[in-house]
Structure 1
């Protein structure tokens, strides 16, 4: 956490220096990001590759079967990212067809807010994975279930708070991405966010459940949920709903996809928890 935070702080300071101080523009911003995270890499590398550390990359023996298992088990996160990129592309194409460039600008602002919220849920789920994995491997199944319930309650609480904040102050959040409130794109984004914000009531649990199955080594189930959440239900919604609801159907497609995915995920969770006795 310290290394990542330090990288971000260095990135911000160097960006000010290169862009404003030296007038390098976009090149300065790019150089600042590259330098900042290279510094972070060097610091973490000195720790990770230090043979005196208990967990060092220079200790142990390489085993291909173990690597294959790790790659397969973590593939669900890859599916999630791939599905998200495809769905964003499809949504952008649909929005530009319905509203033109203003619609794409509006969706971009909404998606930035969505990404910020997703990072909160990823922080919880990624931090929970090693704890769940350790206890599952040790046979502490009751503890695994208890940890999941606690994380689920926290995730749902954060999602509800984010939803309430966006419903009350969504206009101010959107204004961060525009010069003023007079543009057509701003108005589209404000209206779209009111509906799109329902996503935070469901997507936190979906992210948590995907991480949960990854922690338990249930890669196949995790991949199914990832594909359903980010690709299958989104594509169906974006294809069908705008026919009847216009642009409102686009804003509703992603929250609806998260809701349908949550239904599937909860059924799978129930099946797994019956076996954890």
Structure 2
């Protein structure tokens, strides 16, 4: 990752991570497609209601994985590989505890949870089945996210990408088999999704079998102080993931009061397509993480500047592409998830998508800025950006706008949130680069 080939390294890590995150996003998208066409609109509503809980599990894995891998890369950049293995062990301890806790909650309290999420009598059995099955696989979801992050940061992004794509492909194939030929419905879709991370981890084990790893299992006392650093570095990723689920929950409640189950189904189509776009932005952000963290540890400010500019440019280009694809091909996209041909569902979803997708013009920069600031040891600024786009801005807008503009206000909440957050992101970036402690302003001023 030296200065001569930094753009080549950037292209390698970002492209592989975009593909990896694209594969990860297809986990739920595959469920959405097969449930919508194999179970019907009731299954689609049930899936959309329980996705916020899945976001908490996935967000926990991302927080521990990204936070731990960031600390691991900084330690390697400083030449301390022993500390890197100890960080890995601290993350594993917390992962096992969290995974078991989620599993227990799912087995014993899934029905109560779906009732709290607003499921009707018709939806409760479908949502309960899906949620209980998904939460039973919590440990493997979390461990897979952690291993992907550490293997990627351990100079093996190709394997990380291959693992995530293989899991995605397996999930699609198993979804088809379980939902259609086997007729397993919601349980089949959830079971297929739960098996996917197991397949991913099996492939990731090659990193250890071939002895390419610079981190390993070791005897290590659990250190709360190091865990604080890990969580602080990973919290922005957790907020980005969990807030998506919580905002989905709030959207569901508000839309239920305006357009009923049909509106929730339309929102489910939009948000699941949007998750693919967000995953690609996240892929850019996670792709720069090992590069920036390592160069930060080495105090190589020139490389940090180049990666920042390149990642920002990629985020802008992707945002423009997403916006135009969403507005030009709205009807065909919606039709893929409207197997029953519901005209009202199609109308609500098409109208909402054209407004909602404006957010992508600003969203990519915000996600990249949050990740970048976390990598240069500015977790508070990164947390501020994540909190603003996660709940601090969007919640007030979502509570106010629909009162005056109905469903149009619902769709406008996300674009306005990302636009407001963009201003804060640029201010945080400017102040962080100006800070003499990291001397980045010297590089920016000289080049």
1:57 positional shift:
1.9
- Kindly indicate whether residue 355 of structure 2 is the aligned counterpart of residue 195 of structure 1: yes
Aligned pairs for 1:216-255 (under 5 A) are 216-255=376-415
Determine the C-alpha separation between the residues in 1 that align with 2:198 and 2:241: 24
Determine the C-alpha separation between the residues in 2 that align with 1:176 and 1:51: 42
Unaligned ranges ≥5, structure 2? 1-160, 443-447
1:20 positional shift:
3.7
Q: Is the 8 A contact 1:87 1:235 kept in 2?
A: yes
Between stretches 28-37 and 178-187, larger displacement belongs to 28-37
Q: Is the 8 A contact 1:145 1:273 kept in 2?
A: no
Q: Let me know the Cα RMSD of the aligned residues.
A: 2.1
Q: Report the TM-score, using the length of structure 2 for normalisation.
A: 0.58
Q: Quick one: structure 1 residues 37 and 188, their matched pair in 2 at CA, closer, same or farther if it must change by over 3 Å? A: same
1:18 positional shift:
3.7
Determine the C-alpha separation between the residues in 2 that align with 1:202 and 1:4: 27
Determine the C-alpha separation between the residues in 1 that align with 2:356 and 2:244: 15
**Highest relative contact order (Cα 8 Å, sep 6+), 1 or 2?**
2
Query: How far does the alpha carbon of each residue in 1:147-187 deviate from its partner, in whole angstroms, 9 at most, with x for none?
Result: 11111111101100110111111121111111265521210
Query: How far does the alpha carbon of each residue in 1:62-97 deviate from its partner, in whole angstroms, 9 at most, with x for none?
Result: 672333311221112112223222222112111111
Q: Report the TM-score, using the length of structure 1 for normalisation.
A: 0.91
Between stretches 132-141 and 175-184, larger displacement belongs to 175-184
Q: Quick one: structure 1 residues 82 and 68, their matched pair in 2 at CA, closer, same or farther if it must change by over 3 Å? A: same
Aligned pairs for 1:1-277 (under 5 A) are 1-45=161-205, 47-48=207-208, 50=209, 52-58=211-217, 64=223, 65-179=225-339, 182-275=342-435, 276=440, 277=442
Q: Quick one: structure 1 residues 139 and 91, their matched pair in 2 at CA, closer, same or farther if it must change by over 3 Å? A: same
Q: Quick one: structure 1 residues 51 and 194, their matched pair in 2 at CA, closer, same or farther if it must change by over 3 Å? A: closer
Q: Is the 8 A contact 1:159 1:201 kept in 2?
A: yes
Q: Is the 8 A contact 2:378 2:432 kept in 1?
A: no
1:264 positional shift:
0.5
Between stretches 16-25 and 245-254, larger displacement belongs to 16-25
Unaligned ranges ≥5, structure 1? none
Q: Which runs of 4+ in 1 moved over 4 A?
A: 59-63
Query: How far does the alpha carbon of each residue in 1:94-114 deviate from its partner, in whole angstroms, 9 at most, with x for none?
Result: 111112122111111111111
Q: Is the 8 A contact 2:207 2:213 kept in 1?
A: no
Determine the C-alpha separation between the residues in 2 that align with 1:94 and 1:31: 30
Q: Is the 8 A contact 1:11 1:37 kept in 2?
A: no
1:219 positional shift:
1.1
SS at match of 2:393: helix
Between stretches 38-47 and 142-151, larger displacement belongs to 38-47
SS at match of 2:205: helix
Q: Is the 8 A contact 2:166 2:199 kept in 1?
A: no
Q: Quick one: structure 1 residues 250 and 35, their matched pair in 2 at CA, closer, same or farther if it must change by over 3 Å? A: closer
